[in-house]
Amino acid sequence: MQYASFLIRQKRMEKNWNQEGLCKGICTASYLSKIEQGKAEPSEEVLTLLFSRMGVEWKNGHNHDGQMVEDAYEYLLSGDKENLTMLVQTPQWEAYENSPWGLDYILLNQYAFGSPEPINAALECCMDQRQLALQRSMQARWEEALSLYPCSYLYAAAGMCCHQKGNVTKAIELLQTSNQLACTEGSVRIMLLARITMGSCYSNLHDYASMKIHYQAAKRLAVALGATEELDVIEYNAAATQMELGEYGQALSYFAHRKNRDALSLHKLAICYEKLGEPKKALDALDEAASLENTLPENAETKMCQVVRLRLTDAQYLDSDEYGQALLDCFEICREFLPAGYCIFHLPWMLEWYEHHRQYKRAYELLRDFPEFRTRK
């Protein structure tokens, strides 16, 4: 079915018009019925007249072309989110809303602004393979999406989704395919994204040698692209991994001098000072974090910092119900709302709490749920 056919019926239903009222003097009601069912392909003249009667300016294919749409797809599928967002904010982009490219307009807007959400499933009958693949990706139906449109961007997106859910082995498999396809396509930004995420996956698996290989490759790509934000992500993740290794002095050199001091990095700075026996500096870092806005769901940064503060201010924190409740609440927020890496980062303190209170079954269940924590290479 053409998108125009769907839109005609949608607009007519919104106005609560019958078919006879809409098509009088333009075409027969039976012909309009076939148009709305996708059984007839109307002329541009008929489309323009039908839409005009409903107060909609239809931009037909004769006085409008789809080059901007193809440009937008190129930006999306090559990982160029910045240029995609800039393009869909131009006045010219709005002309595609009521046009043969209207469905592309809706889908690409979803990707350009925030986290993409699936669009009306009723529109799926109008979609081509590329459009339907994007819809399936927004529905997290990755196997279907990749079957419909196997490209580096969708493989990377699927891999990132698996990584966030803690399925690290599957994530690596998808990301390796993404990286290979990106090399063939020349999609350097996708190569960068895949390499960064693979580095994070190997960090979760405590395979630090592989992590360094992928982060080093990602760093070279980021430097070549001038991708300063991605460079900071690489350095941040590498420093967080040093903390998991117990190398708090090395991690401190990054977090203490980080230019963008947000609440999450200050939380890690406080832990570095805590582990290095400098509680005053740790509390100062937490105080600074408290003055900043939370960016994670459920005020997660505040909850994380509160756990560290309780450890710093109570030498007997393992016997404190307040500390135990704060730690458990923090972990549940990480588990429900954040990628699995946040849980893995907090596992040592969870295990410490359970073991101190002889809750060995719960400690075992945690290790069962996060098997990547058990193996260090």
Each residue's pLDDT expressed in tens, for the chain with a length of 377 residues = 689 999 999 999 999 999 999 999 999 999 999 999 989 989 889 999 999 999 998 887 545 578 999 999 999 999 999 999 999 999 999 989 999 999 999 999 999 987 789 999 999 999 999 999 999 999 999 999 999 999 999 999 999 999 998 899 999 999 999 999 999 999 999 999 999 999 999 988 888 899 999 999 999 999 999 999 999 999 999 999 999 889 999 999 999 999 889 999 999 999 999 999 999 999 999 999 999 999 999 999 999 999 999 999 999 999 999 999 999 999 999 999 998 889 989 999 999 999 999 999 999 999 998 876 654 44
Compute the C-alpha angle 371/207/187, nearest 5°.
110
Q: Of 353, 352, 361, 300, which is closest to residue 325 (Cα–Cα)?
A: 353
End-to-end CA distance of the chain: 54
Instruction: Tell me the C-alpha distance between 234 and 247, whole Å.
Output: 17
Tokens of 325: 């409740």
Helices (H), 56-128: 67-77, 81-88, 102-112
CB-based burial, 341-370: b 16+ in 10 Å, e otherwise: bbbbbbbebbbebbeeeeeeeebeebeeeb
Helices H, strands E: what count in the chain? Answer: 21, 0
What pLDDT does 61 receive?
58
Q: Of 291, 292, 185, 203, which is closest to residue 245 (Cα–Cα)?
A: 203
List Cβ neighbours of 189 (8 Å cut-off, separation of 6 or more).
Answer: 78, 79, 80, 225, 227
Instruction: Tell me the C-alpha distance between 75 and 69, whole Å.
Output: 10
How many residues appear in the chain?
377
Compute CA distances 83 → 75, 88, 97, 230, whole Å: 6, 9, 19, 16
pTM of the full predicted structure? 0.85
Q: What are phi and psi of 265, to 5 degrees?
A: -70, -30
Tokens of 311: 């450890």
